[in-house]
Amino acid sequence: MEHRKIHSFPEGFLWGAATAAYQVEGAYREDGKGLSNQDILNGTNAFHDTAVTADFYHRYKEDIALMGEMGLKSFRFSVAWTRIYPDGKTLNRKGIEFYDDIINELLKYNIEPMVTIYHFDHPYELQKAYGGWYSDCMIEDYLRFARTCFEEFGDRVKYWLTICEQNNIVLYPDLIGGYLEDVDIDTWRMQVTRVMSLCSAKAINMCHEIIKDAKIGASYSFPPSYPASSSPDDVLAAMNENDFRDFYGMDLVYRARQNPWVIRYYEERGIDIRLTEEDMEILRSCRPDFIAYNYYRTNVAKGCPLESGQIQPGFNLTGKKGSITYPVFPGLYQGTGNAALEKSDWDWTIDPEGLRISLRMLYDRYAVPVMIVENGLGAYDQVEDGKVHDPYRIEYLKKHVEQLQLAVCDGIEVWGYYVWSFVDVMSTSNGYNKRYGLVYVDRTDSSPKELKRICKDSYYWYQELLKVNGNILDRRE
């Protein structure tokens, strides 16, 4: 659809940037913090650990000053569960003080805080005690943590996200999920999806009871799947990918509905995923204010016969194009590349129009306002003469913001857009090789060096964008 009239972003639009606790804070054992599953996991992989990362714990004032200088409207950050409940059960006031300080510092610069309650890092003690998200016990522990966040920060924090990317958490169980080796992977995935959806629904209700003027939703990863060709087989495969990977879990929280063909698929494999009436009642009671998602790329699916061997999705761990592992789910879909699109060095397609497409899909399906809470480009950045020139990132962001504005022209109610990330954070799969920040953090995987901050060219570009409230398309009215 081409527009004759270009509409502006609404006043008060939340132009933001984001980070997540374990990827940015460091100080992983300070002031009573307990260890999380991510502290344990990243302590043993090849890239990095969580001990220092960007050291936001000690440098948040410097970083927030840079946000202020930029004119950032909103900062999305997550609360480390293990700072507030180090073992999942016992309150640590030092943790609350830290987030109090961050929130107060943001408000000093008129930056709207958006809090993600859970972003991949739960207490390792809960993982050991009962297997983390695989157990229903997690619901009570998560809600205790959520209640504390609402009660302590709710006087100043009005935008909340319950859980970040529950669909990716189950898709990449080893990387961010806390997978249990002795449990069948499909059973694990569907039970974790159930537990997390119930947590989101209950936390949304709890938030509305405690903070009367709060807005809350869950956030997902949403790379829409395109058919590899116009063959109906591929079209169906793309529908399967969207339904199984993304819509199934979103539907639980946003429609209180269990997709019948997802139920049937698992039933044929001896797994009964039907929720109880009690579970459905909880989901039916939930009234999210908006749906949030992280948008980086799109996927492509082609038909996949039942006899194929299953392959779980993998990551490109090298930063050399061509080394990603596409998933094969027999009888559903198999992933493949997209020759029509450019790719990042990590094989993620670069698809600005996919952002508009995904907005249309979600707004159409759920009929609630939408927030893009992560969008950005992971790249190798270089310091030259004390500067970081990243035209590729500016190009990526600019094209996505243009498509966002076209979505506004389409009539979609979008409330916010957050660049991932404000400062360089430790990438989930690639440490400090793959950088996303608007602000460079001078460190490598093997050495934290001085952790000096250098504003990249993209930082100054975003600063200019904010001055015109994101309205970068020609005004033709």
**Residue 437 lies near ligand BG6 (rule: CB under 6 A):** no
Closer CB to ligand BG6, residue 102 or residue 171? 171
CA dist 211 and 209 (Å) reads 6
Which one from 165, 384, 413, 464 is the annotated catalytic residue?
A: 165
**Residue 167 lies near ligand BG6 (rule: CB under 6 A):** no
Instruction: Please identify the residue of the shown chain whose CB is closest to the bound ligand BG6.
Output: 427
**Residue 434 lies near ligand BG6 (rule: CB under 6 A):** yes
CA dist 439 and 424 (Å) reads 6
Applying CB under 6 A, which of residues 74, 428, 433, 458 lies at the interface with ligand BG6?
428
Applying CB under 6 A, which of residues 221, 358, 403, 433 lies at the interface with ligand BG6?
221
Closer CB to ligand BG6, residue 92 or residue 168? 168
Closest CA to 232 of 336, 327, 300, 303: 303
Applying CB under 6 A, which of residues 25, 63, 152, 165 lies at the interface with ligand BG6?
165
Which one from 30, 374, 402, 464 is the annotated catalytic residue?
A: 374
CA dist 124 and 121 (Å) reads 8
User: Please, what is the minimum distance in Å from the beta carbon of residue 51 to ligand BG6?
Assistant: 18
User: Please, what is the minimum distance in Å from the beta carbon of residue 393 to ligand BG6?
Assistant: 13
Those residues whose C-beta lies under 8 Å from the C-beta of residue 15, and which sit 6 or more positions away, are 72, 73, 74, 416, 417, 462, 465, 466, 469, 470
| Residue 165 annotated as catalytic | yes
Pattern 283-302, binding to ligand BG6, x per CB under 6 A?
-----------x--------
Applying CB under 6 A, which of residues 21, 164, 199, 216 lies at the interface with ligand BG6?
164
Which pair of tokens denotes residue 41?
């996991």
Cβ burial of 429 (10 Å; 0-12, 13-18, 19+) is middle
Pairing, β 14-18 against β 414-420: parallel
Pairing, β 328-329 against β 370-375: unpaired
Radius of gyration of the chain measured on its C-alpha atoms: 21
- Applying CB under 6 A, the site for ligand BG6 has a residue count of 15
Which pair of tokens denotes residue 150?
């609402």
- Residues from 295 through 354 that contact ligand BG6 (CB under 6 A): none
**Residue 427 lies near ligand BG6 (rule: CB under 6 A):** yes
User: Please, what is the minimum distance in Å from the beta carbon of residue 477 to ligand BG6?
Assistant: 37
Pairing, β 333-336 against β 112-118: unpaired
Which pair of tokens denotes residue 185?
């992977």
CB distance 138 to 88 below 8 Å: no
**Residue 374 lies near ligand BG6 (rule: CB under 6 A):** yes
Closer CB to ligand BG6, residue 166 or residue 403? 166
Map residue 163 onto helix, strand or coil: strand
CB distance 298 to 305 below 8 Å: no
**Residue 162 lies near ligand BG6 (rule: CB under 6 A):** no
Binding region for ligand BG6 (CB under 6 A): 20, 23, 164-165, 168, 221, 294, 374, 378, 420, 427-430, 434
Q: Write out the catalytic residue numbers.
A: 165, 374
